[in-house]
Amino acid sequence: MIALAIILLSDPSCMADLNRMRDAADDLLLAFLLSTTLSYGGFLIESYYDDKLSWIQYPVKRLVLESASYFIYVFCASLVLIFLFTWLVTKNFTLNAIPWKQLILWTKFPMQIAFFISFVFISRSFLMEWRKAAIEAEQLKTERFARQYQSLKDQLNPHFLFNSLNVLSNLVYENPDTAAKFVHKLSRIYRYVLDVQHEELVSLEKELEFAADYLSLQKIRFEDNLQYEIRMDQNMSGNLPPLSLQLLLENAIKHNIASTENPLRITIFMENQELIVENNLQPKSSMPENSAGIGLMNIVKRYELLSNQAISIQDTGGSFVVKLPLLKIPDQKKQSFPEYRQTAKPDYRL
C-alpha cells in the first residue's frame, strides 16, 4: 500500500499509459524498497525511544526527539536509496554528473509518506505505553489498598482481645461468678471475631447480632450502669466493615462514665440507609479532650478504602453520634432478621 501510494504521488499518469508500465515496474521496485526501509526504520526508532524515554514522564521531549529522528532518518535513507537505484538500476546518470537537486526533490514523496507512518508509530507507541501505565497504576493502587486494609484488620483482633482480658482480670478479683459468665460470653463473641477476620464486608444482620452479644457481655460488667436499646425492622439490609459496631460501642464505653448516678445510654437505630450509634456524652476526666481512640479511626480509614462514602461523627455537647453508611454488594441476596421478628419494630431495652 505504501509503495503504491508513492508511485501515484510521484507519477499518477503512469497507470493510464501502457507504454510506461515498464517504468512503473522500476518505480514499484523503488517504492517497495523505500516503504520497507521507512517502516523498519520507524520500528527501530520507536523501540529505541521506548527503552530510553517514557511517554508518560517526558511526552513533549519524546514527541520532538522521535519525530525529528524519524524525519532525518527518512531523508537520509530515501536519498541513499534513490541515488543507488537511479545510478545502478535505471542508469539515469553517471558519477561524473550527479543531479543532486533532482535527487533531493524526489525525496519529498517519501517524506510525505513518512509523515503518515510517523503518525501511526507515535500514536501506537503512546497509546500502548499509556495503557500499560494505567494498568500498572491500577494494580499498584489495588495492592496498596489491600495491604492497608489488611493492616487495619490486623489491628482488630489484638485490640479486642487485649481490652477484653483487661476487663476479665478485674472481674476475677472483684466477682468470680461474674467473671465465669463473662468468659462464656467472651468465647462466643471471639468466635465471631475469628470468623470475620478475613472478610471485607459482613451483613448488617450479623453485625447487629454481634452488637447485641457484645452489649450483653458488657452488661455483666456494668449491670444497671449501662443501658442500651437496639431498634430495627425486618426490612433492613446492607453491609458494614466487620466489627464496626463493636468498635463504636467499645469507644463509647471506654470514653464515658457509666455509674448508678449517671448511667451510660447507648442507642442503635437506622435512618436514611445509615446505621446510627448514639450515646449520652459524659466523658471521663482521665480521657484527653477530643480523644477518638484507635477503634474509631480504624473505621474511618476502612470506609475510605472500601468506598467513597464517609462516616459522620457528631458531638452535640449532650450526645455523641456516629453514622455508618450501609454499603452494597452487587447481586447480594436480601437478608432478613429472624431473631428480631416479633413485631414490625421490636425494641430491646435494658
Mean pLDDT of the residues in the chain: 75
Domains of the chain (ranges plus CATH)? 2-139 (no CATH), 175-349 (3.30.565)
Whether the Cβ atoms of residue 255 and residue 284 lie closer than 8 Å to each other: yes
- Judge whether residue 159 has pLDDT over 60: no
When pLDDT is averaged across residues 26-37 and rounded to a whole number, the result is: 76
How does pLDDT run across 215-225, given as a tens digit for each residue?
988 887 788 99
What secondary structure letter does DSSP report for 342? S
Nearest Cα residue to 34 out of 106, 91, 93? 106
Phi, psi of 320, rounded to the nearest 5 degrees? -120, 120
- Range name among 33-37, 162-166, 345-349 with the lowest pLDDT average: 345-349
In this structure, what C-alpha cell is assigned to residue 69? 529522528
